[in-house]
A and B are shown apart, each in its own frame.
Chain A
Amino acid sequence: MAISAGQIVFYYLAAAGIASAILAVTRRNPVHSVLWVLSLFLHVAGLFLLAGAEFLAAVQIIVYAGAILVVYVFFLMLVDLPKEEAGPRFGAHWPLCLMVGLGFAAIALWVRVPGLQTAAPAPAAAPNTGSVESFGSALFKQFVLPFEILSLVLLAAIVGAVVVGRRRTEA
């Protein structure tokens, strides 16, 4: 049974990704947790690259590893780190959370069971799936309305942030 180089890379990325995720949840120091999340994002980006979705891989790194993680780090600056580290690691609900997590893992495994596979018609005629060109063309032709309307989500969120954040001036 020959194992191709692609498979080796895949299993490395998958295993390292899962390990990073577990470490991110179990580390005491929140800063370490965030760094493990970074490692998780990078490995997931690697998986996307392996699947031929270069654009998605780039977005994963720019948006998740770049922007979202930075917000987490900013947020950590507001936290009392020594106190966080001293506190109990998990809340009282952790067995429940573990069950939900394992449940999702079970679903993911179950989908792999042969016979249940849904011969999901590989999106018709998609030689370039994931390439910037096909992605952009879908975004600006077929899906132009959702793309434009999404800006309203951002606008509502910005207005909301201003409303929540401003000081009441009238007394």
Chain B
Amino acid sequence: METSFLPTAAEYLRLLPETILIVSGTILMILEGLAGPRNRKNLSPLAIAAILAAMAATVAAAGNPGPAFNNMILADGFGAFFRMVVLSAGLLAVLCSSSYLTREKADSGEYYALLLYSMTGQCLLSTANELIMVFIGLEISSIATYILAGYLRDDARNNESALKYFLLGSFATAFLLYGVAWIYGITGSTNLEEIRRTLLNPESGASPLLTGVAAALMFIGFAFKISAVPFQVWAPDVYQGAPAPVSAFMSAGPKAAAFAVMLRVYLTAFPSIGDGWQTMIWLTALGTMIVGNFAALTQSNLKRILAYSSIAHAGYVLVAVTAYSDTGTAAAMFYLAAYAFMNIGAFAVVSHFSRTGEKYVELNDLAGLAQKQPTTAALFSLFLFSLIGVPLTGGFFGKFYIFKAAIDSGLIGLTVLGLLSSAVAAFYYLRIIVVMYFHEPGDTMDTITSPAPGIQIALWTSALATLLLGVFPSFVLDYATTSAVLVR
């Protein structure tokens, strides 16, 4: 069998978003060297242009879906959806970063380059159709994010954050790799579709028990990346220590990509595991929601509150994964998109409010923000309402679709417990709003300046997207529903 291994033009197009990101990241670093120290500030528009170009390429690639490079990646609607989520998260993070880096005197091209590389890894994860690509995508995304978490290297909290993330992250990736090795041992392949074929073929002799163990090992690797219980311990420390725009990105981009790859691997490759798999996710989803929401109650640091809240939100998405149906997949996709905007919006406020050296990140520092900066406070409240799941926001429809999919799949108990735990969550979000609106301004308000242009754009974009998803959810949901079928 002599097949041509030369990729066609269509295949290059299907890899174009990643290509653009890699090339522009590298050009950014070269330009920084040529430009000299004075012009370093002007690098963020280039990163923004690169991300917008990658978005356009994603749309172009989605017009002609299909596999590329010997089935290594599959640029389908599902992949395009998650590429857009990751790119949007990256775009908003770049907008927040520019003023943040200037403030911390850490402007440099490497920051943006690493951000672009990290997004490349996540785009590859969204489209990976082969366990080797999953592993490589995860490594690119993780390595770049480890460094970004510790980017301000004179800051002790940054260092702690990066080191914790790196050590635990590498450990988790090792589990994933071990699971991949098992799968190869069982089925003789690393291609998702071939694995599916072998597992469904009764003559292949693949033991369900061994397959289950392999799936569980891989699940450990993914569960770490989405900060699911019991692998969530790193998240609060890392989100608290990392620069605020990086925390914003970490809570949206890598998480969405990890969910994308998890959904694709389990829906495409493991149709045969069934009940054992559902019980495992069921327990993880419940534990993640409960631990995230209850631990957030006792926190006073804004970044830690948002970190625990991001754990809880991973739990909601896991409910959709537990449903193990097309509507569940679509609900998870919708939720991750809505979550990316509202959570980055909230982190953008924190990144604006904290000021140089992130001095003000305690809950009480927000006292009286509504009097000093009514617009910022109003936008922050919008994001928090969306995180609670109040109607007219994207968060409402996200939760609605997820729990609807869960009920359709007969997960009544999980739905009830999930709704109860999200009622608990309302308390800590509302507490932030109360402090902003009903407490007298303290001396923390003396030095506050109006938000930098980049942060303003990020805030308004996120707010607009959150409202759009809350008022016209069908745009995104219809696309998610049509493309969710593809991964099955």
Asked if B110 CB lies within 8 Å of chain A CBs, one says yes
Q: How large is the interface on A (under 10, 10 to 19, 20 to 34, 35 or more residues)?
A: 20 to 34
Asked if B140 CB lies within 8 Å of chain A CBs, one says yes
Q: Tell me the chain B residues, 112-148 only, with Cβ under 8 Å from chain A.
A: 113-114, 117-118, 120-121, 124, 130, 132-133, 136, 139-140, 143-144, 146-147
Nearest CB to that of A104 among chain B residues? Answer: B178
Q: Are A156 and B205 in contact (CB under 8 A)?
A: no
Q: Are A146 and B72 in contact (CB under 8 A)?
A: yes
Q: Which of A111, A117, A141, A153 has the most CB of B within 10 A?
A: A153
B150 contacts across to A, CB distance below 8 A: 164
Which of A29-37, A63-71, A90-98, A119-127 is the interface stretch? A119-127
B45 contacts across to A, CB distance below 8 A: none
A168 contacts across to B, CB distance below 8 A: 153-154
CA distance A107 to B182 in the complex (A): 11
Q: Tell me the chain A residues, 141-171 only, with Cβ under 8 Å from chain B.
A: 141-146, 149-150, 152-153, 155-157, 159-160, 162-164, 168, 170-171
CA distance A24 to B87 in the complex (A): 46
Q: Are B143 and A160 in contact (CB under 8 A)?
A: yes
Q: How far is the CB of B382 from chain A (nearest CB, A)?
A: 35
CA distance A117 to B205 in the complex (A): 8
B120, B154, B204: the one contacting A121 at CB < 8 Å is: B204
Q: How large is the interface on B (under 10, 10 to 19, 20 to 34, 35 or more residues)?
A: 35 or more
Q: Are A149 and B136 in contact (CB under 8 A)?
A: yes
Asked if B29 CB lies within 8 Å of chain A CBs, one says yes
Q: Are A163 and B120 in contact (CB under 8 A)?
A: no
CA distance A126 to B70 in the complex (A): 19
Q: Are B136 and A163 in contact (CB under 8 A)?
A: no
CA distance A142 to B210 in the complex (A): 27
CA distance A17 to B37 in the complex (A): 54
Asked if A5 CB lies within 8 Å of chain B CBs, one says no
Q: How far is the CB of A161 from chain B (nearest CB, A)?
A: 9
Asked if B9 CB lies within 8 Å of chain A CBs, one says no
Q: How far is the CB of A28 from chain B (nearest CB, A)?
A: 25
Q: Tell me the chain B residues, 182-201 only, with Cβ under 8 Å from chain A.
A: 185-188, 198
Q: Are B186 and A120 in contact (CB under 8 A)?
A: yes
Q: Are A153 and B187 in contact (CB under 8 A)?
A: no
Q: Are A156 and B143 in contact (CB under 8 A)?
A: yes
A111, A124, A163, A170: the one contacting B110 at CB < 8 Å is: A163
CA distance A108 to B36 in the complex (A): 57
A150 contacts across to B, CB distance below 8 A: 136
A123 contacts across to B, CB distance below 8 A: 188
Q: How far is the CB of A164 from chain B (nearest CB, A)?
A: 6
CA distance A119 to B188 in the complex (A): 10
Asked if A118 CB lies within 8 Å of chain B CBs, one says yes
CA distance A155 to B27 in the complex (A): 13
CA distance A146 to B69 in the complex (A): 9
CA distance A4 to B210 in the complex (A): 31
B15, B117, B133: the one contacting A156 at CB < 8 Å is: B117
Asked if B206 CB lies within 8 Å of chain A CBs, one says yes
B29, B72, B110, B140: the one contacting A143 at CB < 8 Å is: B72
Q: A160-B146, A163-B110, A168-B154 are in contact. Are A155 and B117 (CB under 8 A)?
A: yes
A116, A119, A141, A145: the one contacting B133 at CB < 8 Å is: A145
A145 contacts across to B, CB distance below 8 A: 15, 68-70, 72-73, 133
Nearest CB to that of A121 among chain B residues? Answer: B188
B29, B144, B210: the one contacting A160 at CB < 8 Å is: B144
Q: Are B210 and A163 in contact (CB under 8 A)?
A: no
Q: How far is the CB of A152 from chain B (nearest CB, A)?
A: 5
B68, B113, B133, B185: the one contacting A120 at CB < 8 Å is: B185
Q: A118-B185, A118-B205, A120-B185 are in contact. Are A153 and B146 (CB under 8 A)?
A: no
Q: Tell me the chain A residues, 125-149 only, with Cβ under 8 Å from chain B.
A: 141-146, 149
Q: How far is the CB of B347 from chain A (nearest CB, A)?
A: 22
Nearest CB to that of A126 among chain B residues? Answer: B188
Q: Are A162 and B110 in contact (CB under 8 A)?
A: yes
B140 contacts across to A, CB distance below 8 A: 149, 152-153, 156
A159 contacts across to B, CB distance below 8 A: 29, 110, 113-114, 117, 147
A170 contacts across to B, CB distance below 8 A: 37, 105
A111, A141, A157: the one contacting B143 at CB < 8 Å is: A157
26 contacts between A and B (CB under 8 A): A116-B209, A117-B205, A117-B207, A118-B205, A118-B207, A119-B205, A120-B186, A120-B187, A121-B188, A144-B70, A145-B69, A145-B133, A146-B132, A146-B133, A146-B136, A152-B22, A152-B120, A152-B140, A153-B143, A155-B117, A156-B117, A160-B143, A160-B146, A163-B151, A164-B162, A168-B154
The 5 closest A-B pairs by CB, nearest first: A160-B147, A119-B205, A145-B69, A141-B5, A145-B72
- List chain A positions with a Cβ less than 8 A from chain B: 107, 111, 116-124, 141-146, 149-150, 152-153, 155-157, 159-160, 162-164, 168, 170-171
- List chain B positions with a Cβ less than 8 A from chain A: 5, 15, 18, 22, 26, 29, 37, 68-70, 72-73, 105, 110, 113-114, 117-118, 120-121, 124, 130, 132-133, 136, 139-140, 143-144, 146-147, 150-151, 153-154, 162, 185-188, 198, 204-207, 209-210, 213
